């Protein structure tokens, strides 16, 4: 077949070498539809997020003023006041939860990554996976039965913190274990070759090398726990006064949002959105930070 002039001149053909039949058009049409659908799915997924975030910002911004951050709630139906006890309560309970869960989570991760062979380690991994998948309301039931009903004997911030800690440990363990596994063996072997005992190797070489990833794990689990509502309803109860006493009920931001949202008061609705805005901002920033960090690589 003679070479078309355009091909010799390296110009695009106006007509294909062989005309596409109906079957070819059908396949191309299907391909086009698929591309459109897939793009639509992606747009919808990302669009929904912007919709929700936009609404939270729009509704929540009017609620934010100085009183919102510094005062405590006023009686039902009165306009004004703030959610300061809830903000402080959330921070305090997260702090205590971190104090409990960080040693447990990192310790477990170290065990699994450095010493984990055999049946016990397999059991621990399984349990960590199961704990990670627990509905948070079930965690709340457990902590109520253990702490509220028996040990402490009343609704308390401590019970809330323990519930949050139980939610935090599996996330932290899994993240940190992955990070520790990624530390090159050469570092460990170098230290061991110098006569450093295992425990000092781990604490002095492995962990510091992995510290960015470890912090990521901690922050990730804090971000997740900070947004939990259901377990706190059953354990910390709530408090309209400022309280730093862990053995008394304590307010929390997500619970405050819930209480305000289902109320009939317009002012409280606005405050619910304002609290939601703060929550989204803080948790969102924390999560963005961890993502930025892991993008650059774990070390």
Partner 1 sequence: MIASSQQAPALGAALLAVTLLAVAACGPVKTPTGGAPAQGSQPGPARAGEARTLTGAGATFPAVLYSKWFNEYDKATGVQVNYQSIGSGGGIKSIADQTVDFGASDAPLTDEQLKGTKGGALLHIPMTLGSVVVTYNLPGFNETLRLTPETLAGIYLGEITKWNDPRLTADNPALAAVDKNIVVAHRSDGSGTTAIFTDYLSTVSPAWKERVGSSTSVNWPVGLGGKGNEGVAGEVRQNQYAIGYVELIYALQNKLGVAQLKNKAGKFVEPSVASTTAAAAGVVNTIPDDLRVSIVDAPGEDAYPIAGFTYQLVYQNMTDRAKAATLAKLLWWEIHDGQQYCADLGYAPLPEGIVQKAEGKIKAITAGGQPAFGAS
Partner 2 sequence: MAYGAPEPPGQEGAGARPPLRTPAPGRAEAPAARGALARSGLVSADRWFVAATAGLAAGAVLTFAALVALLVAYAAPAVVRFGLGFLTTTVWDPVFERFGAAHLIYGTLVTSAVALLIATPLGVGAALFVAEYAPRWLGDPVSFLVELLAVIPSIIYGLWGFFVLAPFMRAVVEPFLQSSIGQVPIIGALFSGPILGRDLLIGGVILSIMILPTIMAITREVLRAVPDTQREGMLALGSTKWEVIRYAVLPYAQGGIAGAAGLGLARALGETMAVTMVVGNSSSAISPSLFTPGYTMASAIANQFTEADKEIYFSAIVAVALALLLVSTLVNLLARLLVWRFVRGVGTDVAA
Give, as ranges, the residues between 157 and 176 that touch partner 2 (CB under 8 A): 166, 169-170, 173-175
Interface segment toward partner 2; rule CB under 8 A; list 64-72, 76-84, 241-249, 281-289: 281-289
The pair phi, psi for residue 237, each rounded to 5°, is: 65, -65
134 binds, among partner 2, partner 1, none (CB under 5 to 8 A by kind): partner 2
90 binds, among partner 1, partner 2, none (CB under 5 to 8 A by kind): none
From the list 71, 215, 229, 248, which residue makes contact with partner 2 (rule: CB under 8 A)?
A: 229
Closest distance to partner 2 from the beta carbon of 297 (Å): 12
Nearer to partner 2, 11 or 288 (CB): 288
Contact 166, 147 (CB under 8 A): no
From the list 124, 246, 281, 289, which residue makes contact with partner 2 (rule: CB under 8 A)?
A: 124
C-alpha closest to that of 232 among 113, 106, 122, 97: 97
Closest distance to partner 1 from the beta carbon of 149 (Å): 6
1 binds, among partner 2, partner 1, none (CB under 5 to 8 A by kind): none
Q: Which two three-digit tokens encode residue 254?
A: 């997500």
Handedness of CA 155, 156, 157, 160 (dihedral sign): negative
Q: Does 292 bind partner 2 (CB under 8 A)?
A: no
Interface segment toward partner 2; rule CB under 8 A; list 5-13, 88-96, 228-236, 242-250: 228-236
Q: Does 269 bind partner 2 (CB under 8 A)?
A: yes
Please report, as residue ranges, which positions from 239 to 258 form the binding site for partner 2 (by CB under 8 A): 254, 257-258
Interface segment toward partner 2; rule CB under 8 A; list 9-17, 61-69, 73-81, 125-133: 125-133
Distance of alpha carbon 265 from alpha carbon 298, whole angstroms? 47
Closest distance to partner 1 from the beta carbon of 265 (Å): 7
Closest distance to partner 1 from the beta carbon of 226 (Å): 21
Query: Using CB under 8 A as the criterion, which residues of the chain lie in contact with partner 1 when the complex forms?
Result: 74-77, 115-118, 120-121, 148-155, 237-241, 243, 245-249, 259, 262-265
Nearer to partner 1, 74 or 215 (CB): 74
Contact 246, 259 (CB under 8 A): no
Closest distance to partner 1 from the beta carbon of 37 (Å): 35
Contact 143, 152 (CB under 8 A): no
Distance of alpha carbon 10 from alpha carbon 112, whole angstroms? 62
Contact 79, 62 (CB under 8 A): no
Residue 182 CB neighbour total at 10 angstroms: 14
CA distances 161 to 250, 252, 280, Å, are 10, 11, 20
Contact 271, 68 (CB under 8 A): yes
Q: Which two three-digit tokens encode residue 123?
A: 């059991």
Q: Helix-strand-coil percent breakdown of the chain, rounded to 5? A: 75, 0, 25
Contact 159, 235 (CB under 8 A): yes
Q: Does 64 bind partner 2 (CB under 8 A)?
A: no
247 binds, among partner 2, partner 1, none (CB under 5 to 8 A by kind): partner 1
Nearer to partner 2, 88 or 166 (CB): 166
| 169 membership: H or E segment, kind and range | helix 157-182
């Amino acid at each position: 077949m003679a070479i078309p002039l355009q091909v010799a001149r390296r110009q695009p053909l106006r007509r294909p070498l062989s005309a596409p039949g109906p079957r070819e058009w059908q396949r191309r049409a299907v391909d086009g539809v698929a591309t459109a659908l897939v793009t639509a799915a992606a747009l919808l997924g990302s669009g929904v997020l912007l919709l929700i975030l936009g609404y939270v910002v729009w509704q929540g911004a009017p609620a934010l003023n100085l009183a919102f951050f510094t005062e405590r709630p006023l009686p039902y139906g009165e306009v004004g006041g703030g959610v300061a006890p809830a903000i402080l309560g959330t921070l305090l309970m997260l702090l205590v939860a971190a104090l409990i869960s960080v040693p447990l989570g990192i310790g477990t991760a170290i065990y699994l990554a450095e010493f984990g062979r055999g049946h016990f380690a397999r059991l621990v991994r399984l349990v960590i996976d199961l704990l990670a998948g627990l509905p948070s309301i079930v965690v709340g039931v457990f902590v109520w039965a253990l702490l509220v009903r028996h040990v402490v004997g009343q609704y308390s911030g401590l019970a809330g913190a323990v519930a949050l800690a139980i939610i935090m440990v599996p996330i932290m363990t899994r993240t940190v274990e992955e990070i520790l596994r990624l530390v090159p063996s050469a570092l460990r072997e170098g230290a061991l070759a110098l006569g450093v005992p295992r425990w000092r190797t781990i604490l002095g070489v492995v962990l510091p090398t992995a510290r960015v990833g470890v912090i990521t794990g901690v922050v990730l689990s804090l971000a997740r726990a900070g947004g939990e509502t259901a377990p706190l309803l059953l354990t910390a109860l709530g408090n309209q006064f400022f309280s730093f006493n862990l053995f008394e009920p304590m307010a929390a931001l997500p619970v405050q949002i819930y209480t305000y949202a289902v109320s009939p008061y317009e002012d409280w609705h606005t405050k619910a959105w304002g609290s939601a805005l703060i929550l989204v901002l803080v948790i969102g920033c924390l999560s963005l930070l961890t993502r930025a960090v892991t993008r650059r690589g774990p070390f």
